[in-house]
Amino acid sequence: MFLNLYNQQIKVFLADATDDMAGARMRLGRVLRKAGMGVVSPPDGCSAMEARRLIGTCDCSVHLLGGVNIFEDSDEGVKTQSQIQYRAAKSFRDDDFKMFLWNPSGVIDEHNAYITAIRRDIVENTIYSQATSPIVFVEDLRTVMSLNPKMNLDIGTADIFFIYNDADRDTASEVLSMLQDVQQVTSLGINMSSATSYTDYINSQLQASKMGVIYFDYSMDWAMPFARQLWKDSGGKSSNVPLYVAANSAHVNAQDMRALKGFMDYTLTEKSLIPLEVKVYFDKLMGKS
């Protein structure tokens, strides 16, 4: 699920959404553009022919799945723009074009039972996602679409491997500067506008460190699922490299951190105190008084 590094623009056909998913579509469009992707939005009343023309200029399409059926097997049942564009995109699925189906609620019940039919219809080059955050969904989309050249960085031993989202670069740099005065720290800023796979580097550097820290300020939508996934991928409670989440209380509150309770340690405090909290936690791990 890791974000990638590589300057390669991906052109996305952002299909019309039903009214219940209009807000999610708008948020997704903002995240796609912020991630440096080209976004093609169909005009109002877009015909099937025009939809196919626009889709043909793109690398992939994204279709939001909500409470209204956008899946129809027959032409007679096609009534909405979402249905028209879903059917148009299906004809483009090949090695050069991928179709992404996003169900952000993650729920399939009697209100959206059509999603079951959509999932049965999935073939190669169709990707179904239940990512709850548009940031995570866009991260996954880029991973699938990118060539994924790997990071070529040296792995070095460190006390702390400090990971943050590039959106928090300014405050992360301040925390790092203070932390590096008291510990040996290796850091990594994850950039959503790039596309080289981080996975191998993160796994290798984490194993060469005594402790991993995930820091965030504004990028909570990225940090929380990232931290949980990294914890799982690195062995969870059986991992020999503990993970610690550090959040800036200027933009994060206790309610935001509830998802970590019970399996990951964390600190929620003002920026200037985070290096001290990390140092205290590190000393505790090392058995220092």
pLDDT in tens, the chain (289 residues): 333 333 457 899 999 998 999 999 999 999 999 888 999 999 988 888 999 999 999 999 999 999 888 886 555 555 789 999 998 998 887 667 899 999 998 888 888 888 888 887 777 788 899 998 999 999 889 888 875 555 556 788 999 999 998 889 999 999 999 999 999 999 998 875 555 567 778 889 999 999 999 999 999 988 998 898 899 888 888 888 999 999 999 999 999 999 898 889 999 999 999 999 999 999 999 886 5
Contact indicator for 213, 246 with CB cutoff of 8 Å = yes
Whether the Cβ atoms of residue 163 and residue 24 lie closer than 8 Å to each other: no
Domain 11-145, CATH: 3.40.50.10140
Long-range own/partner contacts, residues 39-44 (CB < 8 A, 24 or more apart): 39/12, 39/14, 40/11, 40/12, 40/13, 40/14, 41/14, 42/13, 42/15, 42/16, 42/81, 42/85
Evaluate whether 11-145 and 158-285 have a shared fold: yes
Residue spans of the domains in the chain: they are 11-145, 158-285
What is 158-285's CATH topology? Answer: Rossmann fold (3.40.50)
Other CB atoms within 10 Å distance of the CB of residue 237: 8
Amino acid making up residue 54: L
Global pTM exceeds 0.75? no
CA distance 223 to 209: 20
With b for 16 or more beta-carbon neighbours within 10 A and e for fewer, the 242-281 pattern comes to bbbbbbbbeebeeebbeebeeebebbbbebeebbebbbeb
